[in-house]
Structure formats: C-alpha cells, structure tokens
Structure 1
C-alpha cells in the first residue's frame, strides 16, 4: 500500500464519525460501559431464511475512483457466494469524500444496506442510538471464521458484554519508528549503533544539516491523519482511550485519566521538538507545509521521516520513498482499544432485511481467501497476474479494478502479497503483534455523547494550537499554558471526569 493510501486509511478513523452524527428514532441506551445498555438486537431482520437468493449490499469508502469493472468482480464473487450461502453481493464503493453524506442519507431513509464500514470513534455512540445490530448470537451461529480470525481481539469490541461490530484483522503495526536514507548514512559515515532513543538523534540531525546542503534532516508531519511529531519521543507513552481527550499514562498503575497536555512528559516532548526546529532540523514552514513527508524525502529535500513501527516498516518506507531506508524503533507498540478495533464492520439495524445472510457473507471476508482477494485485487488474468501462489503483479495503470485496501476488509492475512513485498512479512508481523504490550484499558470504549458539546469545543481548541506546538514551530513554554487555559475553558476537565467515571464502571464490571 502506498504512503498516500496508508495516510488516507488513517484518515478514515478521524473523518468517519458518521454514525455519531446521524439521528435515530430509537434512543434507548445512554452509556456503553456502565449505564443503560442498548436494547437493540436486530431480531426483525435476523430470520428471513428462504429459497430466494438474497442480495447483500456491502458499503465502504473508496480511496480512489469507483472501479469501472466492479460489476465483473461482483459476478465473480457471486459464483462463490451463491452455492455457499445462497446470496449475491453488491459492492457499494463510495468515493471517500462522499462517504459520510451518502451513508447518513441511507441510514436516515432506511435504504438497503446490509454491511457497512464504521470505526472505533463512532462505535459507542452508534450502539447507544440502536443503529447497529447486536451481532453476538449471529457470530455464534454464522461467524466461525470471524472468531477464528480475530480470537481474543473480538472481546475488545464488546459493549456491555455484547458485540455490535467486528474489527478488520489488519497487519500488526504500532509504536513509532524513524526511517532514514541509507545512502546518506553511508555517505556521511553515520553510526546508528548507539541510536536507541529520541535524544540520540540530535547528533545525527546535526551531521546531516552541516554536510548536506539543501536537505532538511526531518520531514514535517502535520496533516490530518498523519503521525504527530511527538511520536518520535520515546518517553511519551500513553493510551489515548480512543481519542486523546483524557489519556492513561502507561507508567501510572492508578488507572487515572489525565489531561495529556498538562503532563510533564508532553511538555518535555514539545521542548525536544522545538529544539530541533530552532536548530534547523525541521523545515521553517513545518506547521503549514502541505507536501506529504514521503514526497519530500523522495525529492531529495529531507533525510528522514516518521512511520508506524513494524517488522516490514523499513521495506514499506523504502518503496514509499523511492530509496532504501533504515529504521530505528522509538515508541514501544501497544495493543489499545483504538489500535485493535480501528476500522470495523457493522450491520445497520434499520437497513438490512436479512442480518443472518449479511453475517454469513461478512464471515466469508474473514475466512474465504478467494473472496477477500477478489474484493481487493479483482480477477486473475484481467486485473493481475500471479507470480506464485501468494504473490501477484497488478496490471499497470488503471486496469479497470484498482482497490487494494486490504487494511479495511475482513482478514488482511488472507490477501496476496504484491510483488516485492517480504515473503516472510506476515510471519514477522504475527511475532511482532504477539510481543506487543497490552493496555490495561483494552476493550474500554467511552461513550462521548453525554459530553459531546465539550468534545466539540475542546477539539476546536486543539485544532487551533496542536499543529504549531507539535511541529516545534512555537515555544511551548509560552504557548502551552495558553493552550491548556483554553482547553479548560472549553470543558476538558468535564470530559476527563466523565471518562474516569465510565472507566471505573468498566473496570468494576470487567473485574479488572
């Protein structure tokens, strides 16, 4: 997957708050962790087993144009699904920029939609509004492939002991890493053997600045969906509790929710980044530059950039930057509710006429290799050729079916490798995932609906200050106090108190 597609994938989590925004005639259930539980079971749409073939409509956002050969791919999928589950499939691929509006309209009108993509940020609020079918019993009946694929990850999706959406089983990544141009490292004789933390980068950046005229040591990351520059600071370690508005610091065993922006660790991180900025290690327009970091490195204007860590991170960034990159791991990876749930698949309560059939098809996306590869890559011989059993070469250009959003659908581990990917990458990813630390709050999903006014106000303040602070463009000693003062005026303390209340209830209910 290209860096632009990866960044767009991250965008989904912040831009797809569609369910929390759309209204509902059903309002039972006010809190997902300790108060009234949602009463939605979706029973009216569950049965309807008949001899008639059912059409499953699967809705998702497209990061590019809707493929012109989508009907041919649907026909190929139907050759599998009709004999297996007596269902045909319609892939409702909506251009990313139109996704929220179109799905909101569909949900409001009860237009047919059997399976849809949502995300962890919208999940709790949608459940509290009875917009999502309770999948718990359906998974037991028709979701063996889902249970096998996700294992204990499925538990993280529980709200009051029930499951309303299934997370995509994406490849493991987490924490952070800096990736640097190997040709420059070799040319300048930079020794990376002692570089294990952010403080060790100072000398590396200084050497590049002094000896490579016209090259910025570190490309700026400031775009929506991109990784914050604070991800480079290994001493800043916390669970965002899904949105960062009240976090758990990893080293604190008290399970106390705190304002990240008031912690000494956050101030120290900003001071380090501001020091890099004033030393010229970051571009002067770091807060406003619109060019993607990979594009700056590819153009020879930057030495290093940030990425999510993982066993294949260096290989991916080598492909993205057009030159060999060397990786140094920094922040430690951690399984959190946000990272485990990420993008999720749900069955809308009022839009499906057969939730059981929808579940049968959803299960195939986690268990049937042919189906998941048809969705992602199209038809063999027309849209790609096989180099080996699991390695493919896409037909160049707009071949009629360019999707390749494997991070989104079912079980990513079933998808083909693209030619050039590390053949051992999937095995290494599993080892990486198995060794990740697990947050003590894994599975906690706060319901922000009671404090939605404060959330909106606080996010407005964050949008005003965060980019300038986290790109080092302003002095944190002067600006951070102003930021926190405005956060308090906007209601961040109320948000933290509500999150703490819900976390305490969740801990008591889960016996943790």
Structure 2
C-alpha cells in the first residue's frame, strides 16, 4: 500500500510537470524544483480573502514553501471579508486585475457584464488537462457557469453535502423516550417535549425547542424548516419543467401554519424576529435550546461547550425531514483570470491551482509542515502551537489552495473519532436524497432592480403570520395578489429564460 501511494505521488508529479511543460512558457510554476533547472520563477499576483486574525505576510513560511515547490513568486493581496465586496468592485472598475482574482460572487451584474465583454478567460475547454481540478464535483463547474453555459474561473471548491440543516439534542431525545424525527409532524412532537417535559432536569420550564430566527430579507435560520415543506432548496422550484417561485405554492402555506403553531406553543424563541446568530448559539451553549440549523460539523461547537459540564450532551445532525435535505452548490466564489494574461501564462496559472488541488498542495496550505505545524493521530490532523504562530489554516492559504473533500464538513478540531465517523455516515446518507438549488447563478434584470424590496415585502408578511400578528387568511390574500404582481411575473419570465439558455449552452 505504501509503495502504491509513492508511485501514485510520483505519477501525479509527472502529470503536473508534463502539464506545465506543454504550457510553452519561459516561466514554470512546478512542484518538481523548476528553479534548480535555471528557470525564472513565475510572478503571480493574487487577490483573495483571509479569515484569520491577521493575514499571512510575504515571508510567511507557507507562502515561501509554496513558492519553493511551485517555482513562483507570489504577490498576494489579502482582504478582510468585511470589505471584500467593495474591494472587488473597485479592482474590477480600475481595470488593474490581478492574475488570479477571487470573485466571491461570480454573478453580480458587474461580473456578468465583464464576462460578456470578454474580460476573463473562458477556461471550459482547458480543465480536462488538469487532473486535480477535474476531480472537482460536477456541481462545482455546472453551478459556476455563466449565462452562455461556459466557465470563466476555477471554483473555490466546497463540499456539496453536509450543509446547513437541522440538528437536535440527541441526549434529550433519548432521555424523553422519543425517536429521532423523520417528518415535520414528528419534529413538532419532539420540540414540544423539549419545551414541556424538562429535558435538562432542572425542574423548571425554561427550555426552547428550536433556536431559529428570521430577518428582514428572508427566513434566515428557519429557512431549511421552510424548505422541508416546499421540497425546494431556495426560492425556486421546478414544476412541470418551469421555475415557479415557492412563495405562491400551497406548501408554503403549510410551512407557515406549522411555524405559527410552533411559535404560539413557545417551541420557537419569543424574539425570533430580532434574534441574532450569536445569540441563538449562546442559547445552545447554555443548554437552553434543543435545536438549530447549521452545517454537520458545526453541531460539534455547542456539543463541545456543553460537554465541559455534561459529558452526555450531544447535538445530532438530521439526515433529512419529509425526505428532504439541501444539497449545496459545490463552490464559494471562483478564481478568474483576466484576458490581459497571455494564454501561456494562463495555462501555468491553472497548473498552479491544480497543484493546490492535489493532496500535497492541500495538506501544505491547510495543515502546514508535518512535525512542525501538525501531527496525525488516529487519522486526524492535530495542529501545533507553531501552526497558529505561522498562520497555518484553511482560513489563510487554504483560501487559495484546496482539494475537493467530500467529508470536509464532517470534522472540527477537538472532535472525537466516533462523532467524526457518525458525521461521515450522515453525509453519505444525505447524498442519497439531497436536493440542489436549481436557480444557482441564474440572472434576472428585474430581480436586480426590485427583487430585494419584493423579498422584504414577502418576508414581512411571513413574519407577521408566524408571530400571530396576521391570520393565515391574510397570507392567502397576499399570495392571490402576489401571483398577479407584475414584478414577480417578469422575474419569473426572466429566470425561466436564463434557465433555458444556460442549459442549452451546457
């Protein structure tokens, strides 16, 4: 087995070297010591995000090691997520676009216009030459296609399974003699028991069933509960081959009745219209709430906190409800290459990202150097204090390099192996039934102009119904008007046209 792994590593390195050689350039990013062959390092300007307290500097050990292994000279502009959108807009408008630029939202009107004007390389026909990028899931490529059905950037790959969905206090379920719910009726029974049957055993009726909340623009952390009823991942559902806005479907009415009853019986937070995400998580960590919506591995965060005083505490991510669970898009932004970059260099940039999508490149960026930044215990990476000092993290250079890992959302630092293995099984089971968002990347000019205000109006009525400020009949009257709303009719027409155009171009 070890000899086989070594041979695969050598073959992978040979494939990378061959890909770089075919780029026919005087510069050569190579993991095989290109500098020793006398070739000048390839200069690469990159703009990307960082989520660590401070970004890596030019002399960062990982930056330097990447440069050494790929024979490159990196000039990285690290931007805080708090201002990244503004930085993207300014950079695109300036025309001085770096060689690799992370477009966190590749479907803004500005990006769409620039794609139509030929500002970025169409890489669709090149990807087959890069074995590691080719391993990205189909969704990563399909969901980042522009209106013409072509790809104008390399997806910053993310897993398609394990996204934000419902998780519950399994230890409370067991204590109360209940079963893990598989339907919304069963979920209601469980949440009601969480509120009425003193699951924390403190003799007081002070627990909340589900710590979800809404905001002015949407259903926020009650979103997946809504989707369980509509069976759609997002605002649009395919009905007889046509996209229909879920708010006009009868299943939306059912969802609002369920949520309104849950609020009336105090299964949901009293302040759900103003509750913030951090406040909701505080309820979980304080042992006051029995459920929430988040990624599979994120269920470990409140579990870990509770186990400091209660070793039996356990938040269990559900596989599905009513046969539904969401399937994610497989990406978070794309790395675009401006057309001002010559074709030979463009190919080398793809080779650079291909190395980053290899096992070796991924491990270097995410976990650093073995024995220095991490050890591996029982198949799990254990980070050292030096890793923190050297800013070695997925939140740093891992924003540039990363391979596709189906189980990326199964693990968090400190998680025991039994929880990790359970999370992997949950992800495998979700893959059998998960539902994608059919409208990812579709464009409606009318939605750009009036969509935000329309969504705010729809959410305002939903919130009033959930809080009992309006009866369900008010929703019925609202939907009757919504079906005739000229803006929604135009958005629906444009979304369907975009859907058909993209599919015909794929």
Q: TM-score, normalised by structure 1?
A: 0.73
Query: Residue 184 of structure 2 contacts residue 322 of structure 2 at CA under 8 Å; is this kept in 1?
Result: no
Query: Residue 446 of structure 1 contacts residue 502 of structure 1 at CA under 8 Å; is this kept in 2?
Result: yes
Alignment partner of 1:355 out of 335, 339, 346:
346
Alignment partner of 2:259 out of 273, 278, 282:
273
Runs of 4 or more off by more than 6 Å in structure 1? 414-417, 470-473
Which residue pairs with 2:315 in the alignment? 325
Report the CA distance between 1:154 and its aligned residue.
3.0
Alignment partner of 1:492 out of 488, 493, 498:
488
Task: Mark the CA change 1:289 to 1:262 in structure 2 (over 3 Å): closer, same or farther.
Answer: same
Gaps of at least 5 residues in structure 2 are: 1-22, 28-38, 199-204, 308-312
Query: Residue 195 of structure 2 contacts residue 267 of structure 2 at CA under 8 Å; is this kept in 1?
Result: yes
Task: Mark the CA change 1:96 to 1:358 in structure 2 (over 3 Å): closer, same or farther.
Answer: same
Gaps of at least 5 residues in structure 1 are: 1-45
Residue 107 (str. 1) matches residue 92 (str. 2): yes
Alignment partner of 1:372 out of 358, 362, 365:
362
- Cα distance in 2, alignment partners of residues 66 and 421 from structure 1: 29
Residue 218 (str. 1) matches residue 203 (str. 2): no
Larger Rg: 2
Which residue pairs with 2:332 in the alignment? 343
Alignment of 1:202-213 (within 5 A): 202-212=188-198, 213=205
- Per-residue CA deviations over 1:119-161 (Å, capped at 9, x if unaligned) read 46447565335343211233244x2211134357534544435
- Cα distance in 2, alignment partners of residues 270 and 74 from structure 1: 51
Which residue pairs with 1:235 in the alignment? 229
Report the CA distance between 1:271 and its aligned residue.
0.9
Q: TM-score, normalised by structure 2?
A: 0.74
Query: Residue 67 of structure 1 contacts residue 403 of structure 1 at CA under 8 Å; is this kept in 2?
Result: no
- Cα distance in 1, alignment partners of residues 211 and 433 from structure 2: 27
Which residue pairs with 2:10 in the alignment? none
Farther-moved stretch of structure 1 (464-473 vs 199-208): 464-473
Report the CA distance between 1:81 and its aligned residue.
0.9
Which residue pairs with 1:287 in the alignment? 273
Alignment partner of 2:242 out of 224, 241, 256:
256
Which residue pairs with 1:34 in the alignment? none
- Per-residue CA deviations over 1:213-260 (Å, capped at 9, x if unaligned) read 2111111233689854242253320243xxx2xx124xx3x1122221
Task: Mark the CA change 1:380 to 1:420 in structure 2 (over 3 Å): closer, same or farther.
Answer: same
Report the CA distance between 1:265 and its aligned residue.
0.3
Query: Residue 391 of structure 1 contacts residue 417 of structure 1 at CA under 8 Å; is this kept in 2?
Result: no
Query: Residue 61 of structure 1 contacts residue 94 of structure 1 at CA under 8 Å; is this kept in 2?
Result: yes
- Per-residue CA deviations over 1:288-345 (Å, capped at 9, x if unaligned) read 012343321111221222235x6x6765663476541134331545786xx2343132
- Per-residue CA deviations over 1:158-178 (Å, capped at 9, x if unaligned) read 443532123343234257753
Which residue pairs with 2:157 in the alignment? 169
Name the Cα RMSD after superposition. Answer: 3.9
